Chain A
Amino acid sequence: MDQKLEQHFVALLEENQNIVHKVCSLYTHDQDAHKDLFQEITIQLWKAYPKFRGDSKFSTWMYRVALNTAITLYRKSKKRVRTQDYDSVIFKIKTEDYDPTEEQQLKLMYKAIRQLNDIDKALVFLYLEDKNYKEIAETMGISEVNARVKMNRVKNKLRTILNP
Chain B
Amino acid sequence: MMDELDLLKKDWQRKGDYFPKVSSDEIHQMIWKKSSSIVKWIFIISILEFIIPHLFYLFPPSMQLKEGFEMYDRMGITPWFIGASVLQYSIIFYFLYQFYRRYKEISVLDNAKALMAKILKTKKTVTYYIITSLTFLFMTCVFIAGYFYFMDDIEQVLQLPENAKKISPTKLKNIFAGSILVLGIIATVCFGGLYYLIYGLLLRKLNRNFRELKKMEM
Contacts and interface: CB of A to CB of B under 8 A. Distances in A.
B209 A106 contact: no
- Interface on chain A toward B: helix, strand, loop, or mixed SS? helix
Interface size range of chain B in the complex: 35 or more
A94 to B, nearest CB: 9
Interface string B7-20: 11101101111110
Contacts, number: 164
A134 interface: no
Contact of A44 (B16, B37, B209): B37
Contact of B24 (A14, A38, A46, A73): A14
A10 B28 contact: yes
Interface in A49-66: 51, 61, 64-65
A54 B23 CA distance: 23
B217 A143 contact: yes
A61 B114 CA distance: 16
Given A6-B31, A130-B9, A119 B111 contact: no
28 contacts: A10-B31, A17-B21, A17-B22, A18-B16, A18-B19, A39-B33, A40-B35, A40-B36, A43-B30, A43-B37, A48-B109, A64-B108, A72-B119, A74-B38, A90-B15, A90-B18, A106-B8, A106-B11, A120-B212, A122-B112, A128-B12, A129-B12, A141-B115, A142-B213, A146-B216, A149-B216, A159-B4, A163-B4
